[in-house]
Amino acid sequence: MGKKSYSSSTWRGWRYVQPRYYIKRPKRLALVLVVCISLTWFVYDRQSLNREHQEDILRLKEEVTRLQNTLDDIKGHMKGSAEIIQNDKKNNKFSKGISDEDDPINLQRREKVKEAMLHAWTSYEKYAWGKDELKPQSMNGVDSFGGLGATLVDSLDTLFIMGLDSQFQRAREWIAKSLYFNKNIEVSVFETTIRVLGGLLSAYDLSGDEVFLEKARDLADKLLPAWNTPSGIPYNRINLAYGNTNNARWTRGNSILADSGSEQLEFIALSQRTNDPKYQEKAEKVIKELHRTFPEDGLLPIYLNPLTGTKSSGAITFGAMGDSTIAAQYAENKCQVACLAFPSFYEYLLKAWIQGNKTEMVKFYREMWEASMRGLQSLIRKSTPSSFVYITEKLGNSFFDKMDELACFVPGMLALGSSGYGPGEGDKFMSLAEELAWTCYNFYQSTPTKLAGENYYFRKGEDMTVGTSWNIQRPETIESLFYLWRFTKNKTYQEWGWNIFQAFEKNSRIETGYVGLKDVTTGAKDNMMQSFFLAETLKYLYLLFSPPSVIPLDEWVFNTEAHPLRIVPRNAHQEGLSVDEEEKFPRHLHGRKEGRMGYK
């Protein structure tokens, strides 16, 4: 019975899979087809959803990975920023509260300038390490100043102020191990003082590292024989190994005022830091000699006889004095009576007063500077038709309507010195500073490249016309914009500085550094990165976009190569110097440094 039942059941189930069963029953066939299609669609749909799900999961994983990497980058940047801030606090004790004073635009611009400095420095490190200067286009170094690593030493304080610590440390190691001065080479006393001695002293004041002071003292000892003359006025060139001295042939044996009277800030600072008065005594003997016959209008001749101390008469200029322009005049016998200069020599009269903390003891410096500023006013003219204020040059009784870009340090000097006047007089000099700064800014804006030529002529009805058309990355205009911004807080000066910086970026930056221009009208490039581009131009730009707490001007004074020296009160007893009431002698200034065109 059971067996029969099983057979019957099996048969009934089997018939449902036989095609002929459904042929006879079309409705059931349709139902089966619907069921099969539905099952197929369900399975396919599940598989598709599963594939899409897997793809979604993969995409999500990739997104999570990307976000994680982004988060890591952000953390890294935050850590780097924190390290920079910590380094700034550690290294730049003068910049307390910088974050509270800063604004986003200045921060961004300052970082751009810092990146430019890093590009210039990295190129120097790669192609000219230990050499005086880099020739970017030929990618090699050249010893323009006797092989003393001028760019390296010149850049020390810029690296420090910008917080480029690893670069500063590498430079410090080179100086400790490779910089020495017992060399059979002839150097300019002036250039070596402002660039190398000034750079070493500034690095010491900023970092406190004794190696810089030791090197500074060693160098000064090599330079001192230049002052061993009957008058105390130094020769301008010296052999470091043997102490042999001389002056350039084209000066006919004379010393240049700007060179001879422009080492005082550095030598006084060295005496203060070493407690050895000999450096200050040598440097100030020059001023003592000049002060005896200092004229009422403060206009001194460009040439001094180192044997007799006598002065010559001739041309007066606030610009290039004693470099290529005057040398060429001498070579062509156009300056027979000697040329008189009114360059940034007087900058040091003012800054010696500031370096001495503006005390009664150094009041005579200020008095001499004010006399010189009265003389300056006799050289001021206005162009037509735009009324640009400019400084003429004077040869004998004749005036020449020419102004060098070098003279564009004057607005900054006037701004720096204006606070020492009474309200009315101070406002007058500040107004003159701002008018001259506008002229200097237009030296840049008037050319196709927006970079200034070396000098300009002012002819009636023509305003300014480029004379010598090269640009060698000079800092004077930017220097003045920095001082004007510090004293007026007028952001216009920051905007002008930013425009000049962008012009340098556009025209002077190449892959292997920064170069000057042979011609500011065509943009043709030369082959030299001046050491003062790193020491001054980029430093003043960086400070232009920094809060006043970074190198405050009541605590620091800049030498003519933009090396900040800490202000230390002068004390006659501590210095071992004799300064009496009848013979207070001032300290004189510098001539602006030379630049070289590197065409090859």
Q: Quick check: is 476 catalytic?
A: yes
Contact 280, 267 (CB under 8 A): yes
Identify residue 264 by its one-letter amino acid code: Q
Cα(first)–Cα(last) distance of the chain, in Å?
Answer: 120
Token couple for 355: 């370096």
Q: Quick check: is 323 catalytic?
A: yes
- Per DSSP, the three-state class of 297 is coil
Query: Which of the following is catalytic: 404, 454, 519, 526?
Result: 454
- What is the number of H-type helices and E-type strands within the chain? 24, 19
Query: Which of the following is catalytic: 88, 157, 191, 347?
Result: 191
Token couple for 23: 């042929």
Burial group, residue 314, by CB count within 10 angstroms (0-12, 13-18, 19+): buried
C-alpha neighbours within 13 Å on the C-beta side of residue 543 = 35
Contact 159, 167 (CB under 8 A): yes
| C-alpha span between 145 and 191 (Å, rounded) | 8
CA distances from 333 to 326, 336, 337 (A): 10, 6, 9
Token couple for 412: 């900054």
Query: Which of the following is catalytic: 323, 347, 463, 479?
Result: 323
DSSP 351-379: HHHHHTTT-GGGHHHHHHHHHHHHHHHTT
**Which residues is 141 bridged to in the sheet?**
134
Identify residue 380 by its one-letter amino acid code: I
Identify residue 3 by its one-letter amino acid code: K
Query: Which of the following is catalytic: 88, 157, 476, 561?
Result: 476
Identify residue 385 by its one-letter amino acid code: P
Q: Quick check: is 594 catalytic?
A: no
Q: Taking the CB of residue 27, how many other CB atoms lie within 10 A of it?
A: 8
Q: Quick check: is 259 catalytic?
A: no
Q: Is the dihedral of CA 502, 507, 508, 513 positive or negative?
A: positive
Token couple for 329: 């005049």
Token couple for 175: 């100086």
H-run or E-run covering 599: none
| C-alpha span between 286 and 559 (Å, rounded) | 18
**Looking at the annotation, which residues are catalytic?**
191, 323, 454, 476
